[in-house]
Chains A and B, each alone.
Chain A
Amino acid sequence: MSTVEPAAASRAPEAISPLKEAWAVYRRNAPAVFGALLLLAIVAFVLYGTLIYKGDPYEIVWAPQTPPGVEATVPLGTDNLGRDLLRGLLKGGGPTLTVGAAAAVITLVIGIFLGGIAGYFGGWIDDLLMRITEFFQVLPALLFAMVIITLFSPSTITTAIAIGVTLWPQTARLTRAEFLRIRELEYVTAARSIGARNGRIMWKVILPNALPPLIVSATLTVGVAILFQAGLSFLGLDDPNTMSWGLMIGMNRQYILDAWWPVTFPGLAIFLTVLAVSLVGDGLNDAFNPKLRER
């Protein structure tokens, strides 16, 4: 094939993907890197800790309310029944993190699907879906989640679903706003002009461009969901046979004046996790929107 005169004779520089670019910004953000490392440490602690420090967290192993640091076999002390708190922290971390992540995923799936359709098609579809979204939004979140959990038997999965179903409206509104903005852009018309269908335009053209704020919001949702789950466990609306940080606080709350440690350690774990997730979320926000940061 013949070629037209070249636009420039220079050799093309290696391409930098938007993700690589975001990572370059993220890497320079100290709190965000700290958050990511903290989160990694917590996940590693929960994943591998149970392999090293084995044992049933419900088993009574030592005298009740042994303070931390007193007895070598129970380094973090015991609760009011004499159960090992470190075992509890390790075993309880899994369900806590799982609920947080699963709830965020459920939120994303429902929110992107409904918000995307509403934003892309507009008109009566938008009106209908947004009224539904508003209906879910005005329900008192904690009460709504409690109702769902009491209707179905409490378990890690029902808790995640209850929280996801409660928190999706924000994601839906955010997705809708992004779709409304992006669908008017010229590259969407350009995609149409080469014969792309609606489904393709929605999920392959618009969604990748709408993702950055959604990823940020999903990250922050993980933190919110963990707090939510702690709240539900605290109220006793959690599977008592699945150890979680919230459940530990809930079980030991009556004895808080006699022993500070059984509630403090899981509380600290929740605090650190949510802190880490929020730092990561903030860091991602800055990485995806470098312009916002300069303001």
Chain B
Amino acid sequence: MAEPLLSIRDLKVEFSTRHGRVTALDGIDLDLLPGETLGIVGESGCGKSITALATMGLIPDPPGRIAAGHIVFDGENIVRADAARLQNLRGADISMIFQEPMTSLNPVFTAGDQIAEAIMLHQSASKAEANRRAVELLRRVGIPDAERRARSYPHELSGGMRQRVMIAIAISCRPRILIADEPTTALDVTVQAQIFDLMRDIQRQFGVAIMLITHDMGAIAEMADRVAVMYAGQIVEKGSADAILDDPLHPYTRGLIGCIPVLGKESGREERMPPLAEIPGIVPPLHLLRQGCAFADRCPLAFDRCRAERPVLKGEDHTVACFATELEAT
């Protein structure tokens, strides 16, 4: 295994709320290898976005804080880095694209200005040079008529184009890690495919490592090399994308995969489509988490031990935190 570019160890993030202190991330271990795509999947409120923000050093503090653990980027623990160091890392080495391209661009500046801004923050380029490169980047991310589009305001662009502009901003300084927080959730399915194509293309060309955060197993299947499944602030299953999609071990992962509608089964119309599976219930509010497995209340396989004790990740390459699976295996 190659040396990881980003290595998160035992990361614990806490938020103080009116219910007292809650643990949003409870001991996360993740590795991101150079040039790979790591998918992080889970329902809303599982801590996926918090993982991304923690990596960027952007946990809102207060109310949040990193209570324990390391985030090591290229040999440097950035949890303890000071504000100036983080500002230099952000955008230049690690950058991020967001879920809502509608709201993640500043409405009062043109697309070109915002890309040029990012370039000038990290590189000594003149305004004219930055503008020229902004147009080049817009062309690079597949925006037609880039010279003119550079002068467009965000509200004049479609959702897909805005996400392309966001990607142009994110790659403007050739980062080594690109964190994509639900980059296609707000887009049409056809546009989703285009954005994924673009991301793959950029990954090929720049060798950037992508941390893809999503709740969409389809996106994982399409993009990810390795996958971490998160539930209630913990990683419940981790492994290669193939292993997890073909042979999911954790009941939660199985549930997530069961939620993907299967279209056009071989035999065609006469065979009725199987009813869409669902996972009953919702992710428990963090302040109500008790001892035991967080998924126990929704789990079809849960037994007494699941409610008393918390399972830990076990396994070689494909690891899972589930007592029921352990029983199955033995």
Q: Which A residues lie at the B interface, using CB under 8 A?
A: 1-18, 123, 185-187, 189-197, 205, 208-209
Contact = CB atoms under 8 A, between A and B. Distances in A.
Contact of B144 (A9, A123, A189): A9
B242 interface: no
A191 to B, nearest CB: 7
Interface string B91-109: 1100110111001111111
Contacts of A195: 86-92, 121-122
Given A193-B90, A193-B96, A209-B107, A8 B144 contact: yes
19 contacts: A1-B136, A4-B198, A4-B201, A5-B142, A6-B143, A7-B191, A12-B144, A12-B152, A14-B151, A16-B156, A17-B153, A189-B58, A190-B169, A193-B91, A193-B95, A194-B169, A195-B90, A195-B92, A205-B106
Contacts of A4: 140-142, 194, 197-198, 201
Contacts of B89: 195
B166 A190 contact: yes
A216 to B, nearest CB: 16
Question: Quick one: which of A1, A192, A193 has the most chain B CB within 10 A?
Answer: A193
B98 A194 contact: no
Contacts of A16: 153, 156
A189 B98 CA distance: 9
Contacts of A209: 106-108
Contacts of A187: 103-107
A194 B118 contact: yes
Given A186-B103, A189-B98, A209-B106, A6 B144 contact: yes
Interface residues of B, number: 55
A208 B117 CA distance: 15
Interface string B245-285: 00000000000000000000000000000000000000000
B4 to A, nearest CB: 21
A186 B53 CA distance: 12
Nearest to B53: A189
Given A11-B145, A194-B121, A5 B194 contact: yes
Contacts of B239: none
B223 interface: no
Interface in B113-142: 117-118, 121-122, 136, 139-142
Contacts of B20: none
Contacts of A7: 142-144, 158, 160-161, 164, 191, 194
A124 B95 CA distance: 31
A186 B194 contact: no
B62 A123 contact: yes
Contacts of A185: 103
A175 to B, nearest CB: 16
B113 to A, nearest CB: 11
